[in-house]
Structures are given as structure tokens and as C-alpha cells.
Amino acid sequence: QKEVEQNSGPLSVPEGAIASLNCTYSDRGSQSFFWYRQYSGKSPELIMFIYSNGDKEDGRFTAQLNKASQYVSLLIRDSQPSDSATYLCAVNAGGGNKLTFGTGTQLKVEL
């Protein structure tokens, strides 16, 4: 079992729709959870982080964390073509100081 799992996609959504990206992790000691966006050929860009169970909203983005289910998600409201990218879920597995990344989910927002 991989430490951080994501569906590779592509996930296609129409412009203006809600995109839902999911991630599961294996280490129950994980304490911090991050979503990075990565455009093709570019480096990852931090867009959200969450530490506590529940929802955290920032603009069009909402991160959701359920530690009991070892599940973290990212919702993107009013999806735009500029949101088309790969979204990487990252976890500090075991509560350590390094991040363990999933393989990313490719999101395509279609006109």
C-alpha cells in the first residue's frame, strides 16, 4: 500500500462546476496535510494546508480532512480553465518533518 494515494485521472469538469479531488493516506500518525498545484513543466505551488478534522476554506478552495477515515480532499468551486493542472496531495507521514506526496490527480477544466 502506498503511503499517499490519489487517482491519477484525468478528472474532467466543465467550467463553473465543482471539482472534487481525493487523497487517502496510510500513516495514522500524520498530522499535516497539504495540497499543491503543479502546472506542466513547473514546480509545485502550495495552495492549501489543513491540520484539523473538518473543512478549511480559502477563496474557491476548500480542504476537507477526516483523520478517522484517513482521507483528505480538495474542492474547487467555480472551476476555471486556469485550474487545469495536476494536484498533489502531501502528508507529513508519521508526523515527521518531510512531506510524502501522492502521484497527483490531473484536472482538466473544459470550456
Rule CB under 8 A: which residues touch other proteins?
A: 4, 8, 32, 34, 36, 42-46, 49, 88, 90, 92, 96-104
Q: What's the closest the beta carbon of residue 42 comes to other proteins, in angstroms? A: 7
Q: In the complex with other proteins, which residue's Cβ is closer, 48 or 109?
A: 48
Q: In this structure, what C-alpha cell is assigned to residue 58?
A: 480559502
Sequence-distant (≥ 6) Cβ neighbours of residue 25 within 8 angstroms:
3, 4, 5, 33, 70, 71, 72, 89, 91, 93, 100
Q: In the complex with other proteins, which residue's Cβ is closer, 41 or 54?
A: 41
Q: What's the closest the beta carbon of residue 103 comes to other proteins, in angstroms? A: 5
Give the strand pairing for 105-110 and 11-14: parallel
